[in-house]
Structure formats: C-alpha cells, structure tokens
Amino acid sequence: MAHAQAAIMDRPPERGLDVYTQKVGMWVFLCSEVMFFAGLIGSYIVLRFGASDTWAAPGEVLNVPVTAVNTFILICSSVTMVKAFAAAEADDQKGIKRYLLLTTLLGAMFLGVQAFEYTELVLHGEWQGSHGFTPAAGLYGATFFTMTGFHGFHVFLGVVCLAWATIQAYRGRWGKDHHHGIEVLGLYWHFVDLVWIILFTIVYLI
C-alpha cells in the first residue's frame, strides 16, 4: 500500500498534449468553430460558383476603404491582446490593465464600425438598381450578412469576455502565476481575427 502511495506521488498522470487543460479545451473548441465557419464560407463559395454572373464586383456595393480600416483595427486589437499576455507573463500589472482595456475598446470599435456599415447598407446601399441592400438582396446579400453577421456575433461575445477580463485585471487577478485565462481568451480573440482576415479577402476583395 505504501508502495502504491509512493507510486502515485512519484508518477505524473499519463502524458496528454504537454499543454495545460484549459488551453487544450480552447483549441478543441476552436476546431468546432473552424467547422462552423467552413459551413458558412463553404456555402458562400459554392453558391457563388453557381451564380457568378449575378455577383457584384468588389467595391460596387460594399464600402471597402472603411472595412479596410476596420480590418486594421481588429489586427491592432490582436497585437494589444498578445501584449496583454506578455505583460501578464512578466507580472507587469500596469501593462495588463492597459492592454486588456485597449483590446476591449478596439474590439468594441470594430463592432461600432460594422454596425455603422450595416446601417448605411440597409438604408442607402445600392444593389441591382434598387435602394437598400438587405439580406434579401439575392444570394449576394444573404451570404454577406450571414457571414459577417455571425463573425460580428463572435466578436461581440469576445468583447463581453474581454470586458470581464479587464475588470478582473483592475481587481488584480492576473499575474505571473495566473495568466492562463488571458492566454485562453487570447486564443479565441486571435481566432476571431483570423476568420476576419479570410472573410475580408473573399467577401470584400474578390
């Protein structure tokens, strides 16, 4: 019995992914998110292939310059996120607070610009001669609003979590020994940025 106890104390659990559990969980979850967006984006590709003559040219309906700036905002928020994580690893409390706050604000800004873009399109957009560009505007409208809308929904959820993390930062929760939460949230946030990188290219530029 003492032998068995010694065995338990000496031996670690079976080798997993050599990575802490919450990180494994987030990566596994992101796999499902890849499949979700693959469903939406895959449908877009297929539908477009089958109806390419009715598709609007880049820039004809959508506001590319504004969205390009929005893309830049989201990329910046990824930088501030990764800097927040670096600050946590280094136990830099000021940096943690500053960068988490910045990431939250940049994320919220992205949403704001997207909301503005949607309003402009629905009220003043031009598609096939008629006024107003909505999800009912053919396959072009359907795929545009569904893909960007669900991406935006994921950004919204991310911003809510970031706000929570920022509040926790001001309560001194994060630090050198407590940064797994920031890293895991960061993985989600970078993923959302990654999806947008793909979406921006294929929806706005091609």
Partner 1 sequence: MSDHRAAGEEHGHKAPNYMLIWLYLFILTIAEVGIAFLSTFPKWVIVVGLLGMAVWKALLVALYYMHLKFEPRRLRLVALVPLPAAAIMILAIMMEYI
Partner 2 sequence: MATIVAEATGQAILHEEHGQSFLRKYIFSTDHKVIAIQFLFTTLFFLMIGGLLAMLMRYQIAWPDRTLPGGGILPETMVSSGYILPEFYNSLVTMHGSIMVFFAIMPMLVGVYANYLIPLQIGARDMAFPRLNMISFWLMVPAGLMTLASFFVIGGAAAAGWTLYAPLSGRPDLSGVHLGQQLWLMSLVVLGLSSILGSVNYITTVINMRAPGMTWFRMPLTVWALFITAILALLAMPVLSAAGIMLLFDQTIGTSFFLPEAGGQPLLWQHLFWFFGHPEVYILILPAMGFTSEIIAAGSRKPIFGYKAMVWAIVAIAFLGFIVWGHHMFQSGMNPTLGLSFTISTLLIAVPSAIKTFNWMGTMWRGNLQLHTPMLFAIGFVAMFAIGGLSGIFMASTPVDIYIHDTYFIVAHIHYVLFGGSLFALFGAIYYWYPKMFGRMMNETLGKVHFWLTLVFFNLVFFPMHGLGMVGMMRRIYDATGYQHLQGIEDTNQLITWAAFGLYASGFLFAFNFFWSLWKGRKAEANPWSATTLEWQTPSPPKHGNWKEIPVVYHGPHEFSHPDVTDKDWLAQNERPDVTSPAHTGPAPQPE
Residue with tokens 């136990």: 91
Q: Return the residue matching tokens 């893909």.
A: 147
d(CA 200, CA 188): 18
Name residues contacting partner 1, limited to 77-96 (CB under 8 A). Answer: 78-79, 81-83, 86, 89
Do 99 and 87 contact (CB within 8 A), yes or no?
A: yes
Nearest residue to 183 via CA among 32, 16, 74, 22: 22
**By C-alpha distance, which of 70, 50, 52, 100 is closest to 196?**
70
**CB 192 → partner 2: shortest distance, Å?**
15
Shortest CB 17 distance to partner 1, Å: 5
Spatial distance between the Cα atoms of 31 and 46, rounded to a whole number of angstroms: 22
In single-letter form, the type of residue at position 129 comes to: G
Binding stretches for partner 2 (CB under 8 A): 3-14, 16-17, 19, 21, 24-25, 28-29, 31-33, 35-40, 43, 46-47, 50-51, 54, 134-136, 138-139, 141-143, 145-146, 150
Binding stretches for partner 1 (CB under 8 A): 12, 15, 17-21, 23-24, 27-28, 30-32, 34-35, 38-39, 41-42, 45-46, 49-50, 58-59, 64, 68, 71-72, 75-76, 78-79, 81-83, 86, 89, 177, 180, 183, 186-187, 190-191, 193-194, 197-198, 200-202, 205-206
